[in-house]
Amino acid sequence: MTQLEFNQLVNNHSLSLRAHALNFTKDIEDANDLVQDTMLKAIRFYKNFKEGTNFKGWLFVIMKNTFINNYRKAAKEKTLVSQEENISSSNLMYSAERNTCLSKLVIDDIQKALAHVPEVYSIPFINYFEGYKYHEIADKLQIPLGTVKTRIHVAREMLKKYLKTYTQYAEVF
């Protein structure tokens, strides 16, 4: 089978691949991305396909493995902590626990900084910090979802200004 014939065969299976991808992703855009990744991998590694075997099954295995690899990669990226990340409980607690003698001071400074943030911003931020989702905070406070996101963002920016010293201190290490 030539490369051109192989490419046409892959293209002929695009509809069934799209339907199968939708079962994995539950989102049309993500499904389209998964189909594209699958087709590119199939075309790139066409020499690995053994003629006479189940072509559609081979494509589905590529898709399944691609989906799993993408999922693992996304999960791993979410666990990485960088300096540019927004203030979160895990980041603050990590920095506070690195040096136990500073721990109390850091937590006191965070509380002082939070006290300077107006309640309209601090309440949604504290709820988010405690693990509530945006929509849960919106329901709890009876305000629009966009307002919750804006207020949390503003609170983060205010806290970054108040806690600027710790950002500079972290750069030393």
**pLDDT average, residue stretch 156-164:** 84
Please say if the pLDDT value at position 128 is more than 80: yes
Mean pLDDT of 72-83: 68
Q: Are residues 107 and 125 in the same domain?
A: yes
Euclidean distance between the first and the last CA atom of the chain, given in angstroms as a whole number: 58
Give the range of the structural domain holding residue 40, as residue numbers without chain letter: 3-79
**Tell me, what CATH number does 113's domain have?**
1.10.10.10
48 within some domain: yes
Same domain, 135 and 94: yes
Q: Are residues 163 and 109 in the same domain?
A: yes
The answer to whether residue 150 sits within a structural domain is: yes
Q: What is the pLDDT of residues 38-52, one digit of tens each?
A: 899 888 888 888 888
Q: What is the CATH number of the domain that holds 50?
A: 1.10.1740.10
Q: How confident is the model at residue 173 (pLDDT cuts 50, 70, 90)?
A: very low
Number of domains in the chain: 2
Q: What is the structure's pLDDT at 70?
A: 84
More confident residue, 83 or 37: 37
Both 152 and 93 in one domain: the answer is yes
Q: What is the mean pLDDT of the segment spanning 145-161?
A: 89
Q: Do 98 and 128 share a domain, yes or no?
A: yes
The pTM of this model reads: 0.45
Q: Read off the amino acid at residue 148.
A: V
* pLDDT class of 99 with cuts at 50, 70, 90: low
Top-confidence residue, 6 or 171:
6
| 84 inside domain | no
Between 120 and 79, the more confident residue is: 120
Cβ atoms of 65 and 58 within 8 Å: the answer is: no
Residue 121 and residue 71 share a domain: no
Indicate whether 36 and 101 sit together in one domain: no
Residue 96 has pLDDT above 50, yes or no: no
Q: Is residue 43 part of a domain?
A: yes
pLDDT greater at residue 112 or residue 93: 112
CA dist., res. 130 & res. 116, Å (int): 19
Q: Looking at the structure, do residues 102 and 36 belong to the same domain, yes or no? A: no
Q: Are residues 40 and 94 in the same domain?
A: no
Interval 12-44: pLDDT, tens: 888 888 988 888 888 889 889 999 998 998 888
Own/partner long-range contacts of 66-69 (Cβ < 8 Å, ≥24 apart):
66/34, 66/37, 66/38, 66/41, 67/21, 67/24, 67/25, 67/34
Residue 172 pLDDT grade (very low, low, confident, very high; cuts 50, 70, 90): very low
